[in-house]
Chains A and B, each alone.
Chain A
């Protein structure tokens, strides 16, 4: 607990149909592991991770909640939307249905989340795709998903919790986007900071002077 410091805390949620790999993405992010048969009762539903965004010179503490994906729990999931700064909307590239459902998940997000929430569409299980081979299980072409993301103003990435490919990237891209919103003063404009973004306590880190006060370029 001691000695670790960060500039911001971002609350993230991971949402999408059941079995698309939400829990697996979270475990991959926090533990660098993959479980072929995750125990659904184990409740790996919260995890946190420090991300460094070098070009912004910022350390971010990501706090991620995995929302239960079943229909009956959607209303709880809505409570999470409201409090989040970032959202991973996950579908399974080998399941058309999960991609179709992503639209209705997105509708929920739009309805309940903070308008400045950053959402990234994540096509998971990309390790099961192999366009060269006849056993390619892909049901959602990348171009189609990319287009959808563009139309809806979402970030987009294809990932694999199994191989680890693009998992950190998904979180990092979203975090970068939030940082840039902060930089552009999106949150100040409304005079309400996003509920999912918290500045770290001053005791934890020397605040970056650029974040709050005026740039101090002409001091000498």
Chain B
């Protein structure tokens, strides 16, 4: 500080009159020139540094070029001046207080690549302060103008090597700063990601994680893992290379999951039961994210160990709820894992041990454990009554995994088959069905745990039915063993106690003469009961909301079941469905439209697909619709999509914050109460079928219209376009056939012609031969004739000589003529 004040004094001039900041800066930059002594330059930089806090504009406007010169010429030689210059520049680019100035200075510094290249060279300097200040300056440049820095980085002679080298720095502060710089530097630049990976970034980051103690490490571990994630997430080249490195199996080891375990071996306890804190959770969560990336990317051929690690973490460990959720959502959507064969052992905390002692439960298949998790939440629903968002999200994630798993028709059918009675085999009570048919007790306040279980059961079940005519029809013959109240019949029991047979309630045994009800009948009754209970006047808001949610669960499932399934429509109507649905429509208040809207939707589906003979026909329904006013009905039905609870749902989001409780901002979102109304599958189903339902409502009973085929408009269009395709294609086939025939026949012709030609050629040759022969004969003949006529003439002459009378023949006349 001493010499700083000296500088000021020196600058104040002889008179001691105060000068403006601009004037001081002007004097200082003169001193930056290489002509002055290094010590003077150093003092000038320090003075500028002091000034730049309060006079950023003056310093920035005038001193930048001088400071950069010092950076280029002196920083390497003199760490002190280097540090001071870098810190001054960093301050000048700060955008926190004076935003525009910060950007302006950044732009001036990045006008060309020189500064950035100089920084890369400075990184090679092992001096702590130089390195640290360089990284901090880089950091702020990246933050302000990332793309420009990236493009200069690519032209820096040894940029990538310098950056990788600082990742290895033993000094923690430098390493932390280096990770931050790398994270920013690789953002959205596949080329930089690739070249740094080539230079060994993966290994360096992994070393860092290991040195820090793996997932037990501190914030550096988390940063390094997040950085690794960004190297891989959108870069298939890097993913391929990463798989090459052998590091993926180290990811499993970080979570204490043995990479080379056989599928028959049970997962080890040291993996399943660990001590967790917030930092470890964040670290493990980053690891799970990377594993998810590897198993989810196209062309992934990871061994089942990776999937298994995620599954065991979610279903058979004491990992924190958010981590379980992340493990579930990280599973690939085309899940190819033997869920129904794979055996695992869930755990339960021993009560009153504060999470320090755990019971190992009976082994179960992964599929059963998954369903159990969705139905009741973690640890047999231990905390289900709190209905925290985190728990609900985990259960929703479990439902999504189930949905993905049963996307294959044969898996759906196999699941449903297990629920249908077969001759000769006894049906065990199934937890999914039991949760689905729990009878809501309308005499006491509704049990929120039961509502959630039934709701999740309805979501699971609807994934089995949607899009599968076979399963919809099979489901009609399910006859559940009735369960009462919220007696959920816990699925899991500690391994050391014997599993009690699920108790069959005494009442049902007593009134045995009645045939057992079908699932559809029970659900219709439960719906009716709930609607009645809901309409009671003395409900609190909260109580009413619970009932609404339960009703929504029933209605959504029934809608998806009855759609395109006249048999199930028949069952529903025979169970009194029509009256149940009309009632709330009739009395719909102007308030909440979700329940009446859904009732109407289901009513529309019933009308549309009421195609089997029975007591209640389309003809009997039609006047009722008319009395209610079809237009009003349609209007009300369509307003469902304006409801926030409907609109807020997306493929990723189905758990919403429970808005009626005051939100404490101190709590994490997952620790606040949440609720679930719809899942994306239903929203999607509603949107794609709603138009058909609406149109169906306004058709005459005898009209087959769209109803006859039960096709959505999309499907109709698809069919007609396919018909069109078939028509044009068969036309094409025909004409091609004709062409083919023609070609074939012309081929034939060609062949005959060729044969002909060959024959003709031969004939020609023959006749040629003949002609030649004839010619020759002819010639011979001529010669002969010649000879003969010669002889003849001689003879005549001799005869004349002999005095014989010789006739004058023509030949001689001719001869005369010539």
Contacts and interface: CB of A to CB of B under 8 A. Distances in A.
A80 B237 contact: no
Contacts of A164: none
A78 interface: yes
A45 B237 contact: yes
Given A48-B244, A75-B157, 10 more contacts: A1-B303, A43-B235, A45-B237, A46-B194, A46-B241, A76-B191, A79-B158, A79-B159, A79-B160, A79-B198
B656 interface: no
Nearest to B239: A46
8 contacts: A1-B243, A42-B236, A45-B194, A46-B238, A65-B198, A76-B160, A79-B195, A201-B246
B199 interface: yes
Q: Which 4 A-B pairs have the closest CB atoms?
A: A46-B237, A45-B237, A75-B155, A79-B160
A32 to B, nearest CB: 16
B264 interface: no
B154 interface: yes
Interface in B123-167: 154-161
Interface in B222-261: 235-238, 240-241, 243-244, 246, 248-249, 260
Interface in B719-773: none
B154 A73 contact: yes
B237 A44 contact: yes
Contact of A76 (B195, B246, B248, B260): B195
A48 B239 CA distance: 12
B118 interface: no
A83 interface: yes
Interface in A170-220: 201
Contacts of A61: 244
A76 B195 CA distance: 7
A80 B198 contact: yes
Interface of B: 154-161, 190-192, 194-195, 198-199, 235-238, 240-241, 243-244, 246, 248-249, 260, 303
Interface of A: 1-2, 11, 42-48, 61, 63, 65, 68, 73, 75-76, 78-80, 82-83, 201
A63 to B, nearest CB: 6
A80 B195 contact: yes
Contact of B194 (A47, A48, A65, A75): A65
A132 to B, nearest CB: 30
A73 B161 contact: no
B427 to A, nearest CB: 43
B191 A73 contact: yes
B195 to A, nearest CB: 5
Nearest to A11: B198
Nearest to A78: B157
Nearest to A9: B244
Contacts of B194: 45-46, 65
Contacts of B195: 76, 79-80
A48 B191 CA distance: 19
A216 to B, nearest CB: 29
A83 B198 contact: yes
Contact of A43 (B237, B243, B246): B237
Contacts of B243: 1
B191 A47 contact: no
A118 B10 CA distance: 63
Given A79-B161, A82-B161, A1 B198 contact: no
